[in-house]
Amino acid sequence: MHIRQTSEHVFSSILAVLMDAIALFIGLYLATWIRFDADLFPIDPEKGVPSSDQLVRLILLAMAVFLVVFQNLGLFKRPHQGRFEDMIPRILRAIFISFVLYFAFEAALRMDPQFSRKALLISLGTVPFCVLLERYLLYRLELHHARHSPIENKVLMVGTDTSALRLSSAIERDKFLKASICGFLRTDPTLPWPRRNS
């Protein structure tokens, strides 16, 4: 079923970009705070602590890499399809790819200072936590909105077999599609009309 992109979908995608950017910043900043300000790790007296401006520049660069990867992997595409639990592996894969690309990008640019390796190691925990939490809250918000939105798509099912019946039930259960089944087109006159549970 083809779902046309509406202004609401575009707004949801933009909101997802902004929320992901905030979650990434918090996750990366939290990792640098734990590394340098929480007194949990020793500070090399020769290297010292990077300035706030340097840390923010490194965090913004890492955020840009993450957001580009997220975009290329379709994480901002709307409407949603399926459950949030089904999205978790794709989100974690995007985060892992982003870390690998950031390491390569940083090495290619020969950045000085580099992002603290211990901070990046800590961010392997803080970034997925912040992004998954933000994504879950955003998913629940969008699901609540979809449940209380009017039906926008009328679907005509081709076929009357059990597969068509299961597909029609799945379409109506997925609130993000905002769809209802308006009828069935019987392709084989010998097949019975489907009986749906009320």
Same structural domain, 92 and 183: no
How far is the C-alpha of 113 from the C-alpha of 56, rounded, in Å?
Answer: 12
C-alpha dihedral (151, 157, 160, 165), degrees to nearest 10: -40
Same structural domain, 61 and 97: yes
How far is the C-alpha of 48 from the C-alpha of 29, rounded, in Å?
Answer: 18
Residue-wise pLDDT tens digits, 53-88:
888 989 999 999 999 999 999 999 877 777 889 899
How far is the C-alpha of 14 from the C-alpha of 24, rounded, in Å?
Answer: 15
Same structural domain, 113 and 25: yes
* 181, containing H or E segment: strand 179-185
Amino acid at 39: D
Closest CA to 119 of 137, 132, 106, 138: 106
Is 1 contained in some domain? Answer: no
Same structural domain, 97 and 170: no
Is 132 contained in some domain? Answer: yes
Same structural domain, 101 and 190: no
> Whole-number mean pLDDT of the chain?
82
Q: pLDDT at residue 122 above 80?
A: yes
What is the CB neighbour count within 10 angstroms for residue 169?
Answer: 13
Q: pLDDT at residue 45 above 90?
A: no
Query: What is the predicted pLDDT for the residue at 180?
Result: 67
Amino acid at 196: R
Residue-wise pLDDT tens digits, 156-173:
777 766 777 777 776 666
Q: Which two tokens stand for residue 169?
A: 């039930």
Q: Residue for token digits 């575009």? A: 10
Q: Considering its fold, how many domains does the chain have in total?
A: 2
Same structural domain, 165 and 119: no
Is 2 contained in some domain? Answer: no
Is 12 contained in some domain? Answer: yes
- Which residue range(s) make up the domain with 112? 7-147
CA distance from start to end of the chain? 24
C-alpha dihedral (88, 90, 62, 51), degrees to nearest 10: 20
Q: Which two tokens stand for residue 18?
A: 């902004």
